[in-house]
Amino acid sequence: MKANKIIFPVCVGIIVGILIAFTVNTPGEVDPETYTPAVYSTIGALLPPVIAIVLALITKEVYSSLFIGIVSGAVLYANGNAELMLNTMLFNEDGGMIYKLADSWNMGIIVFLVVLGIMVALMNKVGGSAAFGQWASTHIKTRVGAQLATMALGVLIFVDDYFNCLTVGSVMRPVTDRHNVSRAKLAYLIDATAAPVCIIAPISSWAAAVTSSVPDDSSINGFAMFLNTIPYNFYALTTLLMIILITVLKVDFGPMKKHEENALKGDLFTTEARPYGSVDDEIKNPKGAVIDLVLPVIVLIICCVIGMIYTGGFFSGVGFIDAFADADASMGLVLGSVVTLLITFCFYMIRGVMSFKEFTECIPEGFKAMVAPILILTMAWTLSGMTGLLGAKFYVQGLVAASASALNMFLPAIIFVVALFLAFSTGTSWGTFAILIPIVCSVFEGPESYEMLVISIASCLSGAVCGDHCSPISDTTIMASAGAHSDHVNHVSTQLPYALTAAGVSAVGYLIAGVIGYFTENHLAMIATPVTLMILAAVLIIIKVITSKKQAS
What pLDDT, in 10s, does the model give residues 35-48? 678 888 888 888 88
pLDDT > 60? residue 30: no
Stretch 295-311: mean pLDDT, rounded?
86
In angstroms, the CA 547 to CA 537 distance is 15
The per-residue pLDDT for 100 is 86
Query: Which of the residue ranges 6-20, 159-173, 227-241 has the most confident prediction, judged by mean pLDDT?
Result: 227-241
Stretch 370-395: mean pLDDT, rounded?
80
Q: Which residue has the higher pLDDT, 257 or 479?
A: 257
The overall longest dimension of the chain from CA atoms, in Å, is 72
Confidence at 238, pLDDT banded by 50, 70, 90: very high
The per-residue pLDDT for 1 is 44
In single-letter form, the type of residue at position 2 comes to K
pLDDT > 90? residue 532: yes
In angstroms, the CA 151 to CA 240 distance is 8
The per-residue pLDDT for 520 is 74
The per-residue pLDDT for 231 is 92
In angstroms, the CA 303 to CA 319 distance is 18
In angstroms, the CA 418 to CA 438 distance is 14
Stretch 217-244: mean pLDDT, rounded?
85
Q: Which residue has the higher pLDDT, 497 or 227?
A: 497
**What is the three-class DSSP state of 338?**
helix
The per-residue pLDDT for 282 is 53
Chain segment 128-152, per-residue pLDDT in tens: 877 877 787 778 889 999 999 999 8
The per-residue pLDDT for 245 is 95
pLDDT > 70? residue 404: no
The per-residue pLDDT for 20 is 54
pLDDT > 90? residue 308: no
In angstroms, the CA 532 to CA 505 distance is 7
Comparing C-alpha atoms, which of 162, 163, 159, 184 is closest to residue 173?
Answer: 184
The answer to whether 488 touches 374, Cβ cutoff 8 Å, is no
pLDDT > 80? residue 467: yes
Point out the least confidently predicted range of 83-87, 157-161, 361-365, 407-411: 157-161
Any residues with CB less than 8 A from the CB of 351 and at least 6 apart, and which? 287, 292
The answer to whether 487 touches 216, Cβ cutoff 8 Å, is no
CA 74 to chain centre: 25
Stretch 239-257: mean pLDDT, rounded?
94
Point out the least confidently predicted range of 136-145, 190-199, 252-261, 430-439: 430-439
Stretch 101-107: mean pLDDT, rounded?
86
pLDDT > 80? residue 483: yes
Tell me the CA distances in angstroms from 269 to 117, 144, 264, 266, 414, one per residue in order.
21, 19, 11, 9, 38
Burial-class residue 53 by CB neighbours within 10 Å (0-12, 13-18, 19+).
buried
The per-residue pLDDT for 403 is 59
pLDDT > 50? residue 27: no
Confidence at 406, pLDDT banded by 50, 70, 90: low
Q: Which residue has the higher pLDDT, 57 or 20?
A: 57
pLDDT > 60? residue 239: yes
Nearest-Å Rg of the Cα atoms of the chain is 24
**What is the three-class DSSP state of 164?**
helix
Stretch 469-486: mean pLDDT, rounded?
87
Q: What is the mean pLDDT of the chain?
A: 82
Percent of the chain with pLDDT over 70: 84
Stretch 413-435: mean pLDDT, rounded?
82
The per-residue pLDDT for 342 is 94
The answer to whether 426 touches 432, Cβ cutoff 8 Å, is yes
The per-residue pLDDT for 13 is 65
In single-letter form, the type of residue at position 246 comes to I
In angstroms, the CA 183 to CA 486 distance is 5
Q: Which residue has the higher pLDDT, 425 or 4?
A: 425
Q: Which residue has the higher pLDDT, 20 or 341?
A: 341
The per-residue pLDDT for 400 is 66
Q: Which residue has the higher pLDDT, 372 or 119?
A: 119
Give helix 528-552 / helix 488-519 axis angle, nearest 10°.
140
Chain segment 315-357, per-residue pLDDT in tens: 988 887 778 767 777 788 889 889 999 999 999 999 988 889 9
Query: Which of the residue ranges 274-288, 304-318, 337-351, 538-552 has the most confident prediction, judged by mean pLDDT?
Result: 337-351
The per-residue pLDDT for 16 is 58
